[in-house]
């Protein structure tokens, strides 16, 4: 229940639209009640009047029937449009809000989650929330209001005992029954929600690694595992469907009991002239129509368990704490952009060996520095600290003399262009990927960046050039082309004052690596450049100092100069 309350608070901006959709649902349902009750009363009254040889006003009930029929038809169409529009708006706003929250805690706060799992929560779990308003809140409110009005109408017609009996039947079949369905399907719904997320995650991983699986021959075992998961989910859904159908059967039985009660009590009252024939028909059809309002509840109850599981998963993701906090009172960016790490240390949670110990790094404004070290020596960890993915346990990092913890995260990251070791390439065109870092860049600027990254000639030979679709993760490009495309994106960040390239020449031959670094040096202008690699990186600036991280001691060792192709003097 607490999660549902949080969800309502999250949706408070859409409450006017929700109330509008709810009002239309009520209006449509009451139009249906009026149509059935008036039509039944009118037919019976006409028969009684004909048998008695008296006249009656049939214009008014005829007009009511026509108006109610038109209102019901138009209302059902409008109800579908508005309620679905409201639901889609809610899902969209929820997805945007969650994505914005993920942007606050990523990447460090999501490091223990797989991409398929996060995608499942953003897509599958949020999609399940459609049941909250469309199939649960709106139908429940309509059913309760309609049930109350029908019971009140029966009592107003002088049948108080029948009204109390009808109220008891409606509560038992329409409210208690769905509640029992929720309890009966809870465990199966929990299993279904977990299995659905697991199946989606493993399917994503299977497809991403399909080429490798085919080569290693492990695809059959993975496919069998997916089949087993699917079979377990089908079994859970079969349990849910079976038990929810019992709720629908119970509601149907309650409807039959109510009709029998109306006929029994009504026949006795009709014999004693306590009620007229037309009024008895009106009550009978009102009761039948009222159960139509309760019909969606058993199905909604069956899906409520999985929805609550999805809510728990979503808010568990939402409540993850970011690894770094925004400063309470951020200071403006400094005028200088010297980047200094002084005696920085970090130990990952759950580990005893430090990833970094008393590291000192200086990147003067406008200069180039190189950081070498073997795999596992803490290079990527140091980069995380420089851009505040994490904060060090000890020591301090300053930008222009200002501790970076005092800078707003957006400000800090606006002046640093990072090309990570494993860059993400969007499933889009080359131009779209480049403009993801520089939305206003012209085609000429894109070509210049590609030239700087040594990729211009390769793209120029492609039939669609900048409009070439690169596939998911850059699947249609080679590994070297993916890395150079990422470098081109970094070069397009003209507002950034510091460039940090992690393993920029990995997978490139020496000649291509030298060409790329010459292009980077040509285009970086006055921006600082930090090259990070596990092997010497060719650089155009031969005199640029370098530092080395050694895995055993994690101490920075100064070397003299950068020489072409990474040789040292």
Q: For the residues 193-207, what does the mean pLDDT come to? A: 79
Q: How confident is the model at residue 266 (pLDDT cuts 50, 70, 90)?
A: confident
Given a contact cutoff of 8 angstroms between Cβ atoms, the answer to whether 36 and 287 are in contact is: no
Judged against a pLDDT cut of 60, whether residue 553 lies above it is answered with no
Question: Is the domain defined by 339-566 classed in CATH 3.40.50.300?
Answer: yes
Instruction: Check residue 569 and give its pLDDT.
Output: 32
Instruction: Check residue 561 and give its pLDDT.
Output: 29
Q: Which of 219-228, 369-378, 467-476, 537-546 has the lowest mean pLDDT?
A: 537-546
C-alpha 363/C-alpha 435 separation (Å) is 28
C-alpha 26/C-alpha 370 separation (Å) is 69
DSSP secondary structure string for all residues of 102-152? HHHHTTGGGTTS-HHHHHHIIIIIHHTTHIIIIIIIHHHHHHHHHHHHHHH
Question: Percentage of the chain surpassing pLDDT 90?
Answer: 0
Question: What sign has the CA pseudo-torsion 67, 70, 73, 75?
Answer: negative
Cβ count near 14 (within 10 Å):
18
Instruction: Check residue 564 and give its pLDDT.
Output: 30
**Tokens coding 18:** 């929700």
Helix (H) or strand (E) holding 363: strand 356-363
Q: For the residues 513-537, what does the mean pLDDT come to? A: 78
CATH 1.20.1560.10 residue window(s) in the chain: 10-318
Q: How confident is the model at residue 559 (pLDDT cuts 50, 70, 90)?
A: very low
CA 228 to chain centre: 27
Given a contact cutoff of 8 angstroms between Cβ atoms, the answer to whether 365 and 333 are in contact is: no
Express each pLDDT in 335-365 by its tens digit.
Answer: 888 888 888 888 877 777 887 788 888 888 8
**Tokens coding 538:** 């060719």
Q: For the residues 325-344, what does the mean pLDDT come to? A: 85
Instruction: Check residue 289 and give its pLDDT.
Output: 86
**Tokens coding 367:** 């200069």
DSSP secondary structure string for all residues of 370-429? EEE--TTSSHHHHHHHHTTSS--SEEEEEETTEEGGGB-HHHHHHSEEEE-SS----SSB
Backbone phi and psi for residue 137, each to the nearest 5 degrees, phi listed first = -65, -55
C-alpha 418/C-alpha 438 separation (Å) is 14
Each as own residue / partner, the long-range contacts of residues 258-264 (CB below 8 Å, 24 or more positions apart, any chain) are: 258/166, 258/169, 258/170, 258/287, 258/291, 259/284, 259/287, 259/288, 261/162, 261/165, 261/166, 261/169, 262/162, 262/166, 262/287
Q: For the residues 432-440, what does the mean pLDDT come to? A: 85
Which residues fall within 8 angstroms of residue 418, CB to CB, at 6 or more apart? Answer: 383, 387, 490, 500, 502
Burial of 494 (0-12, 13-18, 19+ CB in 10 A): middle
Q: For the residues 316-325, what does the mean pLDDT come to? A: 80
C-alpha 222/C-alpha 119 separation (Å) is 20
C-alpha 474/C-alpha 426 separation (Å) is 7
Judged against a pLDDT cut of 60, whether residue 446 lies above it is answered with yes
Which of 133 and 259 is assigned the larger pLDDT? 259
Q: For the residues 219-246, what does the mean pLDDT come to? A: 85
CATH 3.40.50.300 residue window(s) in the chain: 339-566
Instruction: Check residue 419 and give its pLDDT.
Output: 84
Closest by CA to 497, choosing from 395, 398, 382, 418, is 418
Instruction: Check residue 209 and give its pLDDT.
Output: 76
C-alpha 160/C-alpha 156 separation (Å) is 8
Instruction: Check residue 114 and give its pLDDT.
Output: 67
Q: For the residues 204-211, what does the mean pLDDT come to? A: 77
Instruction: Check residue 541 and give its pLDDT.
Output: 47
C-alpha 39/C-alpha 282 separation (Å) is 8
Cα–Cα distances (Å) from 22 to 19, 79, 140, 150, 426, in that order, read 5, 8, 10, 19, 40
Given a contact cutoff of 8 angstroms between Cβ atoms, the answer to whether 344 and 394 are in contact is: yes
**Tokens coding 332:** 């403006």
Instruction: Check residue 539 and give its pLDDT.
Output: 52
Q: For the residues 156-167, what does the mean pLDDT come to? A: 85
Q: For the residues 459-483, what does the mean pLDDT come to? A: 82
Q: How confident is the model at residue 17 (pLDDT cuts 50, 70, 90)?
A: confident
Cα–Cα distances (Å) from 567 to 300, 302, 537, 560, in that order, read 69, 68, 9, 11
**Tokens coding 103:** 């942007």
C-alpha 472/C-alpha 23 separation (Å) is 45
Instruction: Check residue 565 and give its pLDDT.
Output: 27
Question: What sign has the CA pseudo-torsion 393, 399, 403, 404?
Answer: negative
Instruction: Check residue 566 and give its pLDDT.
Output: 33
Express each pLDDT in 402-415 by its tens digit.
Answer: 888 888 888 888 88
Instruction: Check residue 545 and give its pLDDT.
Output: 54
Which residues fall within 8 angstroms of residue 5, CB to CB, at 6 or more apart? Answer: none
Q: How confident is the model at residue 562 (pLDDT cuts 50, 70, 90)?
A: very low
Looking at the domain covering 10-318, what would its CATH class be?
A: mainly alpha
Q: How confident is the model at residue 397 (pLDDT cuts 50, 70, 90)?
A: confident
Q: How confident is the model at residue 567 (pLDDT cuts 50, 70, 90)?
A: very low
C-alpha 411/C-alpha 331 separation (Å) is 10
b/e map of 203-221 (b: 16 or more CB within 10 Å)?
Answer: bbbbeeeeeebeeeeebee
C-alpha 348/C-alpha 393 separation (Å) is 9
Which of 127 and 548 is assigned the larger pLDDT? 127
Average pLDDT, the chain: 80
Closest by CA to 495, choosing from 332, 337, 386, 364, is 337
Judged against a pLDDT cut of 60, whether residue 30 lies above it is answered with yes
Q: For the residues 446-462, what does the mean pLDDT come to? A: 85
The alpha carbon torsion through 135, 137, 142, 144 (nearest 10 deg) reads: 120
Q: For the residues 490-506, what does the mean pLDDT come to? A: 83
pTM assigned to the model: 0.69
Judged against a pLDDT cut of 50, whether residue 563 lies above it is answered with no
């Amino acid at each position: 229940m607490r999660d549902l309350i949080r969800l309502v608070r999250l949706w408070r901006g859409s409450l006017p639209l929700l109330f509008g959709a709810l009002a239309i649902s009520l209006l449509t349902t009451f139009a249906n009640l009026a149509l059935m009750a008036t039509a039944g009363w009118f037919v019976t009254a006409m028969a009684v009047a004909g048998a008695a040889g008296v006249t009656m006003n049939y214009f008014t009930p005829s007009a009511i029937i026509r108006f109610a029929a038109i209102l019901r038809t138009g209302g059902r169409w409008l109800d579908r449009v508005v309620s679905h529009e409201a639901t889609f708006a809610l899902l969209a706003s929820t997805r945007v809000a969650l994505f914005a929250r993920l942007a606050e805690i990523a990447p460090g706060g999501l490091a223990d989650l797989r991409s398929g799992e996060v995608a499942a929560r953003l897509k599958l779990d949020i999609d399940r929330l459609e049941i909250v308003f469309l199939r649960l809140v709106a139908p429940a409110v309509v059913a309760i209001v309609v049930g109350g009005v029908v019971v009140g109408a029966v009592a107003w017609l002088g049948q108080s005992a029948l009204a109390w009996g009808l109220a008891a039947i409606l509560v038992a079949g329409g409210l208690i029954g769905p509640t029992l369905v929720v309890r009966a399907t809870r465990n199966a719904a929990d299993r279904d929600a977990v299995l659905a997320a697991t199946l989606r995650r493993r399917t994503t991983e299977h497809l991403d690694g399909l080429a490798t699986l085919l080569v290693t021959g492990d695809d059959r075992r993975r496919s069998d595992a997916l089949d087993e998961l699917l079979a377990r989910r089908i079994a859970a859904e079969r349990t849910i469907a079976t038990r929810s159908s019992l709720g629908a059967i119970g509601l149907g039985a309650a409807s039959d009991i109510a009709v029998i009660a109306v006929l029994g009590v009504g026949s006795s009252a009709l014999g004693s002239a306590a009620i007229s024939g037309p009024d008895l028909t009106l009550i009978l059809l009102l009761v039948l129509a009222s159960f139509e309002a309760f019909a969606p509840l058993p199905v909604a109850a069956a899906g409520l368990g999985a929805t609550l599981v999805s809510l728990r998963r979503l808010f568990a993701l939402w409540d993850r704490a970011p690894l770094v906090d925004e400063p309470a009172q951020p200071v403006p960016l400094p005028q200088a952009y010297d980047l200094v790490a002084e005696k920085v240390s970090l130990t990952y949670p759950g580990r005893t060996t430090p990833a970094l110990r008393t590291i000192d790094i200086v990147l003067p404004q406008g200069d180039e520095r190189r950081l070498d070290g073997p795999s596992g020596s803490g290079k990527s960890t140091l980069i995380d600290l420089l851009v505040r993915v994490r904060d060090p346990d000890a020591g301090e990092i300053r930008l222009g003399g200002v501790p970076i913890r005092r800078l707003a995260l957006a400000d800090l990251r606006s002046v640093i262009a990072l090309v990570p070791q494993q860059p993400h390439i969007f499933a889009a065109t080359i131009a779209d990927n480049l403009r993801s870092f520089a939305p206003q860049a012209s085609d000429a600027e894109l070509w210049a960046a590609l030239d700087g990254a040594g990729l211009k000639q390769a793209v120029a030979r492609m039939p669609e050039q900048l409009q070439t679709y690169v596939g998911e993760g850059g699947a249609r490009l080679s590994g070297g082309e993916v890395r150079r495309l990422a470098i081109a994106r970094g070069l397009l960040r003209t507002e950034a004052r510091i460039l940090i390239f992690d393993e920029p020449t990995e997978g490139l031959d020496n000649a291509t690596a030298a060409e790329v670094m010459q292009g980077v040096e040509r285009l970086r202008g006055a921006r600082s450049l930090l090259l990070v690699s596990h092997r010497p990186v060719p650089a155009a600036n031969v005199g640029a100092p370098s530092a080395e991280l050694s895995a055993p001691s994690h101490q920075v060792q100064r070397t003299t100069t950068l020489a072409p192709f990474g040789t040292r003097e």
